[in-house]
A = this chain, B = another copy of it.
Amino acid sequence: MYIGVDYYPEQWPRERWQEDIPLMKELGINVVRIAEFGWSLMEPEEGKFDFTLYDDAIAFMEEHGIKVVLGTPTATPPAWMAHKYPDILPADVNGVTISFGARRHYTVNSRTYQYFTKRIVEQMALRYGQHPNVIGWQTDNEYGHEKSDRSYAEEDRRAFQLWLKEKYVTLDALNETWGTVFWSQTYTAWEQIPVPRKVYQEHNPSLLLDFDRFCADAYNRYNRLQTEILRKYSREDMFITHNFVYTDLALNQKEMAKDLDFVSFDNYPVWGGLAEPITPAEIAHHHDLCRGAKPGKGFWVMEELIGAQGWSRIGYLPRPGQAKLWTYQAVSRGAEAIVYFRWRAAHFGTEEFCHGILDHDGVPRRKYREVKEIIDAMNAFGDEWIEAEYKAEVAVYYDVENAWAWNIQPHSDALTHKKEFLRFYSAAHSLNAATNIVSPGDSLEGYKVVIVPIYFLTNPEFNEELKKYAEAGGTVVFTYRTGVKEPSNVVVDTTLPGRFREMAGIEIHEYESLQSVQQNTVVGVSGAIEGVESAAKLWCDLITPTTAEVLAVYKDTFYDGTAAITRNRTGKGTVYYIGSAVEAGMLEKLYAEIFAEAGASTLPSPEGVEIVRRTGKDGKVFLAVMNHNADSGAVVQLPAGRWSCAVSGTTYERELQLDKLGSIVLVTS
């Protein structure tokens, strides 16, 4: 298993290499990622190339038995380029040009930038594509990060119009699809179509969604431009990956993954200014997304947080044990390599408060010892663990196009796609149900339950798969605002939930959007949630059951008594519909019942304790048990049998005590 660090040889005098690399070796590091911000070193002036520094660094690593992943340096075009070719620069929604001075100051649609990209990538590929110590490539760095996913410059406008022409062929088709008859927006020449810069009110939602698709597609094309060159010149066994960040950007991770050997992920549960880490469920969701981006493949964590991070604001300091916890979580959910960010904090530049394994003074201390402990542990059982299977019985639908549609029209001041997705994902996570993310194109066969959160923008392929799945006996959980939109982002003309009416056995005749200051109440009337009350926030679908039975009703306002949650038997399957944003307490009770009925396994655990099960070919079970609580220990009930610690061999039965932020991997013994 590869465990490494992100290293910046260019930021340190060579004498320091001679201290750093032995320290890395002592830790057990076997890989470094380098070079992803090195363009001005590699091409100090236009067309003049100089790879001396990286040649030497790679050689030095090789001497010490450390492999290298090389990043292409295109996230940071050099000053000479930005100055001489300002058409590479992106623009914001007001048309303000983004200045040189930080990073990602380019638009992928710039033809000039594409030219320079091709040249530098080719130069790198020629030089290192056959290098025995280089094991793979990372293209660019964190596409779309820092609001660089959408650019509104002239080059973008030109490219958007071409993209639309490719997609729609005729203006009639575009006008018809977008409904440009509304507000007299009919386009009679491709040149008339704007990028969605500032307007007095809001743009056509179909244009906005296509603009997001275009942005994502432009990034994919730009990435492909790099991968094609890299593949052409590289050894067969070299991999190509890209390190993604976050979700819901105008990027299509799943689509881009097709051009990669596997995806990578930069795992920062905290960042500059964040007072607390994001929730364990959100981290888990990110891992699930990565694992699902390229089914059958694991992923790399190309940057794993080890110290406090920040630009001008510095975030939460990771506590003792937290690095191990987050590493275990990542590997348990599919990571096959971990690269810590970064070896040592830089003394200069925007990221000088991004703390690494070492701080500015370069003295190994707590974090160094923690990484040592992790690496020793992974050396003991990591490879075997990674080979063991993560088997999901619950699928959770996620499609970035649906996220875009929501973010274009969030309905309420309190609604974001991410938060609502997590509402319906987290209840499964709390039950320690093993989940996979599924997207249009994926098969649902074999899953016990499929959760389909806020399925607003529908996808024909996924619609079909869902129907087939339910008819064949599957269990589907729909939520509020299901089936509202066609892929073109126009509203369906059938009664909601649109094409799922029959499946769900309901009709929605009215609904109410709730702002952050408003709420209604839902009360359970049947089954596990009978008598349970929950606030109903953000949205209330007023459900008229046709064939469905009522599990919960609304309590307040004029729709007191109206159905809020229903269950329908359809074909051999069962379809739930949750009409409002109810609270975790109610959702977890409901999910527990649904999962039990569908035969999907769960594992009880105290709040904040995550358990992930993997099974080896020989039937050996790995149980990662992780206490995310920073302030309290936990007592966890273990599944039947005897368990032993994968590192120490200490055995446990029935019960396991974990310190705050404690984590352990148990194996059947």
Q: Which residues of A contact B (CB under 8 A)?
A: 8, 10-11, 37-41, 44-45, 73, 76-80, 82-83, 90, 92, 94-105, 146-148, 178-189, 191-194, 196-207, 273-275, 308, 310-317, 319-320, 345-353, 360-363, 365-366, 408-413, 488, 490-496, 509-515, 517-518, 557-558, 630
User: Given A308-B513, A512-B308 in contact, is the A101-B349 Cβ separation under 8 Å?
Assistant: no
What is the oligomeric copy number? 3
Q: How far is the CB of A363 from chain B (nearest CB, A)?
A: 6
CA distance A308 to B518 in the complex (A): 15
4 pairs of A and B residues whose beta carbons are closest in the complex: A179-B348, A182-B349, A314-B513, A102-B199
Q: Give the chain B neighbours of A101 by CB distance below 8 A.
A: 185, 194, 196-197, 199, 203-204, 207
24 intermolecular pairs with C-beta atoms under 8 Å apart: A37-B183, A40-B186, A41-B184, A44-B186, A45-B188, A82-B192, A83-B191, A99-B196, A99-B199, A101-B194, A101-B203, A102-B183, A102-B203, A146-B200, A182-B346, A182-B349, A308-B512, A312-B409, A313-B412, A317-B510, A317-B512, A347-B493, A352-B491, A360-B493
- A96 close to B198 (CB less than 8 A): yes
Partner of A94, one of B8, B83, B96, B146: B96
Interface contact A311-B184, CB-CB below 8 Å:
no
Residue pair B312, A198 in contact (C-beta under 8 Å)? no
CB distance from A114 to the nearest CB of B (A): 18
Task: Report the bound CA distance from A312 to B416 in whole Å.
Answer: 12
Q: How far is the CB of A172 from chain B (nearest CB, A)?
A: 12
The reply to whether A11 and B181 form a contact with Cβ atoms under 8 Å apart is yes
Q: Does the CB pair A413–B313 fall under 8 Å?
A: yes
Complex: how many Å from CA A360 to CA B508?
12
Q: Which residues of B contact A182 (CB under 8 A)?
A: 8, 11, 37, 346, 348-351
Q: Are B102 and A194 in contact (CB under 8 A)?
A: no
Q: Given A105-B200, A191-B83, A492-B360 in contact, is the A77-B273 Cβ separation under 8 Å? A: no
Please give, as numbers and ranges, the residues of chain B lying within 8 Å of A409 by CB-CB distance.
311-313, 353
CB proximity of A302 to chain B, nearest CB, Å: 17
Contact call A411/B313, Cβ cutoff below 8 A = yes
Q: A99-B196, A346-B491 are in contact. List 4 more A-B contacts (CB 8 A).
A: A101-B185, A179-B347, A205-B312, A317-B511
Chain B residues whose CB sits within 8 angstroms of the CB of A361 once the complex forms: 493-496
The answer to whether residues A187 and B146 also contact, given A345-B491, A353-B409 and a CB cut-off of 8 A, is no
CA distance A77 to B103 in the complex (A): 38
Q: A412–B496 Cα gap in the complex (Å)?
A: 47
Chain B proximity of A63: nearest CB distance (Å): 23
Contact B76 A275 (CB under 8 A): no
Q: Chain B CB within 10 Å — which of A179, A182, A274, A493 has the most?
A: A182
CB distance from A197 to the nearest CB of B (A): 4
CA distance A147 to B76 in the complex (A): 31
Question: Chain B contacts of A95 at CB under 8 A?
Answer: 96-97
Chain B, residue nearest A185 (CB): B79
Residue of B nearest to A496 (CB): B361
Chain B min CB distance to A662 (Å): 13
Which of A82, A197, A350 gathers most chain B CB within 10 Å? A350
Q: Which of A80, A99, A320, A492 has the most CB of B within 10 A?
A: A99
Quote the shortest CB–CB distance from A457 to chain B (angstroms). 13
A513–B270 Cα distance when bound, in Å, is 12
Q: Contacting A186 at CB < 8 Å: which of B41, B198, B310?
A: B41
- A187–B105 Cα distance when bound, in Å, is 16
- On whether the beta carbons of B491 and A105 are closer than 8 Å, the reply is no
Structural contact, B100 and A194, CB atoms closer than 8 A:
yes
A185 touches B76 (CB 8 A): yes
Quick one: given A41-B181, A313-B413, are A348 and B77 in contact (CB under 8 Å)? no
A470 CB to nearest chain B CB (Å): 23
Known contacts A317-B510, A410-B313, A185 near B40 by CB under 8 Å: yes
Which of A37, A183, A515 gathers the greatest number of chain B CB atoms within 10 Å? Answer: A183
A106 to chain B, nearest CB (A): 10
Q: Is the CB of B186 within 8 A of A104?
A: no
Which of A41, A102, A148, A512 has the most chain B CB within a 10 Å cutoff? A102
- Shortest distance from the beta carbon of A193 to any chain B beta carbon, whole Å: 8
A647 to chain B, nearest CB (A): 22
- The interface residues of chain B lying within 8 Å CB-to-CB of A77 are 184
- A11: chain B residues within 8 A (beta carbon): 179, 181-182
Chain B residues with CB under 8 Å of A44's CB are: 186, 188
Closest chain B residue to A484, Cβ basis: B360
Chain B neighbourhood of A37, CB < 8 A: 182-184
Known contacts being A192-B100, A410-B312, A412-B314, is A490 close to B197, with CB within 8 Å? no
Please state if A80 and B192 are interface contacts (CB–CB under 8 Å).
yes
Q: Smallest CB–CB gap between A407 and chain B, Å?
A: 9
User: Which residues of B have CB within 8 Å of A207?
Assistant: 101
Cβ contact within 8 Å between B410 and A350:
no
CB <8 Å contact, B412 and A184 = no
| Also in contact, A201 and B103, with CB within 8 A (given A189-B80, A510-B317) | yes
In contact, A491 and B312 (Cβ under 8 angstroms)? no
Separation of A310 and B411 alpha carbons in the complex (Å): 8
**Nearest CB on B from A95, distance (A):** 6
Min C-beta distance of A508 to chain B, whole Å: 10
* Chain B residues whose CB sits within 8 angstroms of the CB of A411 once the complex forms: 310, 312-314, 353
Contacts of A311 in B (CB 8 A): 201-202, 409
Determine how close the nearest CB of chain B comes to the CB of A355; give it in whole angstroms. 10
Q: Which residues of chain B are within 8 angstroms of A314 by Cβ–Cβ distance?
A: 411-412, 513
CA distance A507 to B411 in the complex (A): 52
Of B45, B83, B197, B347, the residue contacting A491 (CB under 8 A) is B347
Partner of A78, one of B45, B96, B186, B191: B186
Question: Roughly how many angstroms separate A184 CA and B101 CA in the complex, as a whole number?
Answer: 10
Least Cβ–Cβ distance between A131 and chain B, in angstroms = 22
Nearest chain B CB to A526 CB, angstrom units: 26
**Residue of A181, A193, A320, A413 with highest tally of chain B CB at under 10 A:** A181
Smallest CB-CB separation from A360: which chain B residue? B491
- Within 8 Å by CB of A184, from B39, B353, B413, lies B39
